[in-house]
């Protein structure tokens, strides 16, 4: 991806391979700067940024809740500005919001998960199959007959994810799904998201401001003032601690610790992301 001045490239052509074109998402938004974001099928993409950077606005574009005022957003082969594509786009790219209470509407968990498929005319037998499969995938099958009101925040968010999964989207967009959860709830939801991506090969676009949630992403985009200002793998992004701090963003705690120790003179590599990496690096230093 390149961020280019639109004035220098006013008729930018999009070139993507057949797999991306068929199963991925291609986003081109042009304002003062042209921005391209490619998401290929099966990827785990993270989008970071401080409050007001444009993350949630981008998420709403991916689900056709908003449409670009300039440029084009393709979900599969569908232009989101075409009103005839609204429902197919939303079926292809399901969305999970910050507050699960805004997304859960039924009095029983299984009824809530089955609500979406029922509304698009899925046969009853298939609805219950989807409900069971979706609840199993997020580890909530045993709660199928419970009231959502009796669940914890993390459990509610997993039910909301199951409700989106039951629609069988090819991509799931999560707009700060852990923002209202306690640490245990956050761990539950992130573990569920990673499992869906790893085991079900579901494309995941996670929008968050918690840095430790994205260390296993395939690629990270960092936004500021409505623009993509950084992109790369987690190691590439979190190696740039000073640049992230200038954007009012933190880094994972273990990355910060390694960064400060390196500044103090220890020969540690850049972009340490996990405690395991940190321990291994420290052990190598001790063994010299």
pLDDT digits (tens, 9 = 90+) for 262-287: 889 888 888 889 999 999 988 888 76
pLDDT, position 149 = 92
Closest CA to 25 of 70, 87, 72: 72
171 within domain boundaries: yes
The tokens for 78 are 């569908």
- Residue owning tokens 């989106």: 164
Question: Does residue 189 form part of some domain?
Answer: yes
Please give the pLDDT value at position 24: 56
For residue 56, what are the domain limits?
42-67+76-234
Instruction: Give the span between the Cα atoms of 24 and 171, in whole angstroms.
Output: 8
- Sorting pLDDT into bands at 50, 70 and 90, what band is 201? confident
DSSP conformation letters of 244-255 = HHHTT----HHH
Q: What is the pLDDT of residue 35?
A: 54
pLDDT more than 70, % of the chain:
87
Phi then psi for residue 28, to 5 deg, are -130, 110
pLDDT of residue 81: 85
User: In sequence order, what are the beta bridge partners of 4?
Assistant: 34
* Band of residue 54 on the pLDDT scale cut at 50, 70, 90: confident
Greater pLDDT, 31 or 261 = 261
Q: Which position has the higher pLDDT, 217 or 73?
A: 217
- DSSP letters, 171-207, are EEEEESTTTTS-HHHHHHHHHHHHHHHHHH--EEEEE
Q: How does the average pLDDT of the chain come out, rounded? A: 82
> Is pLDDT larger for residue 47 or for residue 8?
47
Phi then psi dihedrals of residue 154, to 5 deg: -65, -40
Mean pLDDT, rounded, for 183-205: 87
Confidence of residue 63 (pLDDT cuts 50, 70, 90): confident
pLDDT band of residue 4 (cuts 50, 70, 90) is very low
| Residue-wise pLDDT tens digits, 228-254 | 889 999 999 999 999 999 999 989 999
- pLDDT-derived band at 73, boundaries 50, 70, 90: confident
Q: Is 255 part of a structural domain of the chain?
A: no
Q: Does some domain include residue 100?
A: yes
Helix or strand run (H / E) with residue 160? helix 153-165
* Strand pairing report for 4-5 and 33-39: antiparallel
| Higher-pLDDT residue of 37, 201 | 201
Instruction: Give the confidence band of 7 by pLDDT, cuts at 50, 70, 90.
Output: very low
Predicted confidence (pLDDT) at residue 15 exceeds the cutoff of 80: no
Average pLDDT over residues 20-27: 48
The DSSP call for residue 258 is H
Residue 276 within a domain: no
Question: Strand, coil or helix: what is 112?
Answer: helix
CA distances from 115 to 104, 132, 145, 205, 261 (A): 10, 13, 15, 23, 52
Phi, psi (5° rounding) for residue 156? -60, -40
Domain assignment present for 8: no
> Between 59 and 111, where is the model more confident?
111
Q: Is the pLDDT of residue 17 over 80?
A: no
- Determine, yes or no, domain membership for 6: no
Instruction: DSSP letter for 17, please.
Output: -
Our count of domains for the chain comes to 1
CATH number at residue 101: 3.40.50.300
Confirm whether 91 is domain-assigned.
Answer: yes
pLDDT confidence of 65, banded at 50, 70, 90?
confident
């Amino acid at each position: 991806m390149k961020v280019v001045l639109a004035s220098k490239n006013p008729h930018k052509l999009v070139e993507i391979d057949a797999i991306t074109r068929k199963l991925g998402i291609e986003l081109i938004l042009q304002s003062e700067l042209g921005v391209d974001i490619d998401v290929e099928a099966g990827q785990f993409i993270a989008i970071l940024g401080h409050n007001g950077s444009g993350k949630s606005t981008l998420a709403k574009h991916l689900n056709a809740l908003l449409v670009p005022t300039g440029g084009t957003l393709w979900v599969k082969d569908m232009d989101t500005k075409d009103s005839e594509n609204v429902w197919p786009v939303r079926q292809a790219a399901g969305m999970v919001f910050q507050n699960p209470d805004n997304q859960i509407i039924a009095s029983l968990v299984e009824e809530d998960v089955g609500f979406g498929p029922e509304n698009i005319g899925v046969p009853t037998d298939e609805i219950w199959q989807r409900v069971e499969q979706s609840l199993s995938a997020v580890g909530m099958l045993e709660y199928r007959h419970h009231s959502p009101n009796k669940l914890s925040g993390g459990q509610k968010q997993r039910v909301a994810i199951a409700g989106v999964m039951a629609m069988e989207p090819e991509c799931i967009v999560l707009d700060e799904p852990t923002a209202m959860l306690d640490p245990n709830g956050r761990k539950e939801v992130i573990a569920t998201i990673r499992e869906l991506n790893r085991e079900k090969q579901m494309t995941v676009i996670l929008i968050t401001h918690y840095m430790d949630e994205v260390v296993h992403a395939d690629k990270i985009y960092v936004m500021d003032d409505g623009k993509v200002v950084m992109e790369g793998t987690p190691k590439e992004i979190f190696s740039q601690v000073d640049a992230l701090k200038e954007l009012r963003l933190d880094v994972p705690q273990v990355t910060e610790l390694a960064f400060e120790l390196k500044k103090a003179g220890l020969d540690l590599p850049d972009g340490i992301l996990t405690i395991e990496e940190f321990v291994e690096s420290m052990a190598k230093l001790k063994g010299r």
